[in-house]
Amino acid sequence: MKSNLLKKLPFSILEGILDEDRDKLESMARHISLSRGELVPRADSPTEVFIVQRGLVSLRSRTNTVHEYGRVKNGRSIELKSLFNQVKAWDFAWRAEEDSRLIALPWAEVKACLEKDKLSYEYLKRMTCGVEIQKLRRDLAAFGLDS
């Protein structure tokens, strides 16, 4: 019996993926449990997409983890922009701000599933990578209007 864990993620990038693709991705999922204060274990180069299943993860400077740049909550992907832009290294260190559980999926497989709906894929990419959109998102968050 399939758990359909990926279907239960609110606001996830996986919401529009076909059921059969979601089942395939779920079989590839790597689950990561973290205690408060732990850094997320990951490779230096972006090859997996990390989605917060439960908890809260902060984005911190890779050289000085004291400064916080943002937070990622349930259903959201961590540094999706780095994956879209195919950078060689992640921009931030990630730390669990409370006991958390993450799901790691191979980006190449997730991207292939997302690209089946070209319009949705391009929308997600533009929403993730657009500088003006990111500024608007930060402004909305400052006024408590984020999701």
pLDDT of residue 14: 84
How many H helices and E strands in the chain? Answer: 5, 7
Q: Quick one: tokens of 21?
A: 């693709």
Residue 111 in this model has a pLDDT that exceeds 70: yes
What's the predicted TM-score (pTM) here? 0.85
Q: What pLDDT digit, counting tens, does each position of 32-63 carry?
A: 999 999 999 999 999 999 999 999 999 998 88
Q: Look at 60-64, 67-71, 83-87, 135-139 and tell me which has the smallest mean pLDDT.
A: 135-139
CA angle 99, 74, 66 (to 5 degrees): 55
Tokens of 124: 């997600």
Q: What is the pLDDT of residue 36?
A: 97
**Is the pLDDT reported for residue 1 higher than 50?**
no
Mean pLDDT of the chain: 88
What 3 state SS string does 26-54 have?
A: HHHCEEEEECCCCECCCCCCCCEEEEEEE
